[in-house]
Chains A and B, each alone.
Chain A
Amino acid sequence: MSKILYANGDSFVFGMECIDHYDKTPANKEFAFPKQLADLMNIDTHINAAYNGATNEFIFRNTLLDILNFEKQGYAPEDVFVLVGITSLHRIEVDANRFFEQIPKDFVNKKVINDPMFPVEYHKYGTMFVNPGFGFGVNHYETNTVVNVDQLINPWCSNYIWTEKVQMLSQEARILSLHEILKAKGYRHLFVNTVCSLERTKNIDMSNKNFYKLETDSFYHWAKINHPTAQRKFNHFDTATHKAYAEDLHQYILKTL
């Protein structure tokens, strides 16, 4: 039996808005589906390393490095259950200093940093996650300066890199390599989609039991159909929805893993 449930992913794995509309605080993690799944599996320790807005590359990178750290700390692979929430392909991690340097430093340090929309990943990594739905921007009226991801980042990414041609093979390689590493090391694990299904893949065997409905479903899609009234203002879902999804995952794990 596993002693730790380790989860990584985006805002859906984080549990954003479980507590209330707009709520992005880490307290949401206690209500998100990974925690609910840990409870159902009678796993005492639950580590949720998800970030709101995380990219697939970030999720892959930190899952791998966290797992290797567990090993260094002496945990046996069979003690850890790994749950990876795969997010949408159209996300990017940019150098946040290069974004904020365009406005006066004092204003950033005194005002912008306290904005509830401020990207928390900046504090630890110096970066900022950007996706088409993240309309973060800063207006500095005194210098008549406006910096906005919708103008500075999203158009270029949408045009040149947020296409399946560029993204799909990279994502397939991440999933396949992480799965092979976890399998070889003896970690029980499950990959789920959080935003959209991974259609049109050429290299992933979707019958693999560690890939939960990757070709056909996602947490968001499932929640929209089964709990439409539970959707929050920022398009996430309440605790009851997370609990119900965890129950589905638990049944799947009991039957197949």
Chain B
Amino acid sequence: MTKLFYTNGDSFVFGMECIAPTNKSEENKIYAFPKYVSNHLGAETYVNNAYLGATNDFIYKQTIIDLLELEKAGQDLSEVFVLIGWTSLNRIEIDGDRWYSLVPGAIEYLENNKNNPEIPAEYLDFGTLFVNPSSGQQIDSNDKIYNTADEVLPFTVQYLWTDIVQQPQQYARIIALHEFLKAKKCKHLFVNTVDVMHDTFELTATNFYNLHLDSFAKYAVSNYPEEQQEMYHFSKIPHEAYAKIIIDYIEQEKLS
């Protein structure tokens, strides 16, 4: 029996643009593919802790911390179903204040305007910023453009965002979270949202859905290209269709 459904991941798990193009509101989570899976499993509580732009390290650590907190609060983890959407390997979390301090007056502005929806949620919650090759922060101040890409990408592309560095780390995260969830008797399923893992890494557990082959984005682009939105996410139609595939897999492999 699943009482609580917990999911973590990136903007695809968040459901960004499900409601409308460019829409990043929390309401999107109700239309994201995990919600349909949660409904099918009859969960009383749906917790979607995905963040836009989240890194795989963030997804890992936040899932561990959240589940241990739930356990501490008295939740029996054997009644929890965990759905993880692993994201692309080329992402990083940086210290937000270190970047904002490059922009004159930015720190003060952020301090006084915490309700501004343009401020990234991860900065408000953790003081950090997620950066990847296609998204980050850009501020136009006094005719000068400040961009996280200029500060971050030259280093990360050169030294960190390579398969030699990223693939083993991601493999360890997948295995570690799987072992942790097994240890806690949590039912669980891992899917990719963007990238796939090299087939040199052994990922054979039934809890891993096509991690070598497929991702939500690949599926949606192939099957629902017309549903792709302005910021490369998808309407709720591919989310619902993908959820059906995930539900069939959960049933077939008796994961719930």
Per-residue CB contact flags for chain B residues 154-187 toward chain A (1 = under 8 Å, else 0) read 0100111010110011001001110110111000
> In the complex, how many angstroms separate the beta carbon of A127 from the nearest chain B beta carbon?
6
Is A61's CB under 8 angstroms from B169's CB?
A: yes
Is B95's CB under 8 angstroms from A177's CB?
A: no
Judged by DSSP, the binding face of B is helix
Residues of A within 8 A of B65 (CB): 169, 172-173, 176, 203
Is B164's CB under 8 angstroms from A159's CB?
A: no
Given the known interface contacts A126-B164, A160-B152, the answer about A57 and B64 at a Cβ–Cβ threshold of 8 Å is no
CB-CB nearest in chain B for A181? B179
Residues of B within 8 A of A165 (CB): 95-97, 126-128
> In the complex, how many angstroms separate the beta carbon of B25 from the nearest chain A beta carbon?
25
> In the complex, how many angstroms separate the beta carbon of A122 from the nearest chain B beta carbon?
10
Total residues of chain A contacting the partner, CB 8 A: 39
Is A161's CB under 8 angstroms from B177's CB?
A: no
Residues of A within 8 A of B183 (CB): 180-181, 183-185
Residue A95 is within 8 A (CB to CB) of chain B in the complex: yes
CB-CB nearest in chain B for A61? B172
Which of chain A's residues 119-161 have a Cβ closer than 8 Å to chain B?
A: 125-127, 152-153, 156, 159-161
What are 22 A-B contacts defined by CB distance under 8 Å? A57-B169, A57-B172, A60-B176, A61-B169, A64-B176, A159-B98, A160-B94, A160-B98, A160-B151, A160-B152, A161-B92, A161-B94, A161-B95, A165-B95, A165-B96, A166-B95, A169-B61, A172-B61, A180-B68, A180-B180, A181-B183, A185-B183
B contacts, CB < 8 Å to A: 57, 60-62, 64-65, 68, 92-99, 126-128, 151-152, 155, 158-160, 162, 164-165, 168-169, 172, 175-177, 179-180, 182-184
